[in-house]
Each structure stands twice: as structure tokens, then as C-alpha cells.
Amino acid sequence: MDSALVAERLTQWMKTKVEEAGGRGVVFGLSGGVDSAVVAALARRAFDENILGIIMPCKSSVQDMLDAQLVSQALSIPYIMLELDDAYGLLVGQYEAFLKLEDEEEAKRVKANIKPRLRMLTLYYFAQAKKYLVLGTTNRCELETGYFTKYGDAGVDLMPIAGLVKWQVRELARYLQVPESIIEKVPTAGLYEDQTDEGEMGISYHELDHYLLTGEASPQVLARIREMNRVSAHKRALPPIGEF
């Protein structure tokens, strides 16, 4: 992959899309991961000062917050930090007063998805106030398998890196001078303790990258990818319109 060419094309693409929408700049979440770091670096190139990164801790890892700050410092990204713990706790308390799930694992997953949806609300508050567009950080692997939250981290205006598999994101990150510790960090959505992308998906990024670029995979991996793609099809489409 020619990282310099990809960076230039994505930078110009973002400029064009924001201009077409009548926007002044862009806002995005800084999670401390490589995907959000690459999006932040591309935004910095495209819009200079008309950008805003938002770090949004929400019952989440302190290390992720520190990594997000590291990215902002290394790439000169202006940012604000908004803690969403209280909002999350208030909502969960009210929800569970009406319906509390008995299955602990299911309850953990249901409550975890509130976090990216709160972050989506936060990003759009600032986007509308500043006449900015919201940038998403979903990569091609996540998009293909549905490894994102509907109306959460997928609730965005533009997805700059959704055409890149994970290793391509990492290569682009090195070109954009993202700190190596961020590039090599174990990928996680950070929704609950000890969560990892690969552990939750049940396949490795290496296997997924290889399949998406070549169409080749073992029968087990192929079956897993196809099943994830099938059950998440609704996430990649507009809601069906009733027929009469």
C-alpha cells in the first residue's frame, strides 16, 4: 500500500465531502486506539484548526484516556474531555428500574452499548453547534462483520477509513507518525473490562484482513465471517420502509 497516496486521497475526500455539506470542519472521538488516531491525523491535515477531538470516558479504562491524550499531544489535536459516567449511571438506573435482565452476560452487553450511543449524542451536540461533520473511526473489518454499535460508533456523517483493513490502518498510522505504542496496542472497543476485538469476534484481524483482501479463508473462518456479516446486515442499511 502506498500510504502517502492513501493519506492524500483521503484528506482530499474529506475536504470535498465537508465542503459539499456546507460544513466548516469536523469533530471525532478520541478513544486511544489506532483507528481514531488515524482519523484524527487525517482530519488535522485536511482542516488544520477546524477540528475537535473529544475524549469521552464512560466507565472505561484510565489507560484508554491517557492514550487518547497521548495521541492529541503527538499529533497536535485540539481536544476536550467530557466524562459520561454520571449520565451513563443515571440512564442505567432508570432503565433497570423498569427492566433488569437476569442474565449477567446479556445485561453486560446491553448496557455496554449505551456507551457508544452516549458518545454519538455528544459528538453531534458539538457538530451541530460548530457546523462540523462527525467523522467515524470504523475500519473495513468492523464494517464487514458488523463489529460496531448501531446508532453508536456507526452514527456518523463520514467514515474515512472504512475501506481499509486493520493492517492498512496500522501502516497508514506509521506514515502519519502515530505513536508506536498506540499502533501496537491490543485492539478493543473498551466497552467493558478485558474486552478485545479478536476475542469477541472469534477470529484474528490477520485472518479477517487476509479474507477481505484475497477472498481466501479456512472453512471455519469463512463460516464465522459470513455469519457475522449476515446477522449484521441491518446495521449497514437504512431501516426498511413499509410496503402497502
Q: Is 153 a catalytic residue?
A: no
Catalytic option among 2, 8, 20, 35: 35
How long is the chain? 244
Catalytic option among 20, 49, 102, 142: 142
CB 50 within 8 A of CB 24: yes
Cell 456518523 appears where?
A: 156
Buried/exposed code over 38-74 (b: 16+ C-beta within 10 A; e: otherwise): bbbbbbbbbbeebbbbbbbbbbbbeebbebbbbbbeb
Find how far residue 52's CA is from the centre of its chain: 16
Q: How far apart are CA 119 and CA 85, in angstroms?
A: 11
Q: Is 35 a catalytic residue?
A: yes
How far is residue 127 from each of residues 19, 28, 40, 109, measured CA to CA in Å?
A: 14, 9, 15, 28
Q: Which sequence positions are flagged as catalytic?
A: 35, 142
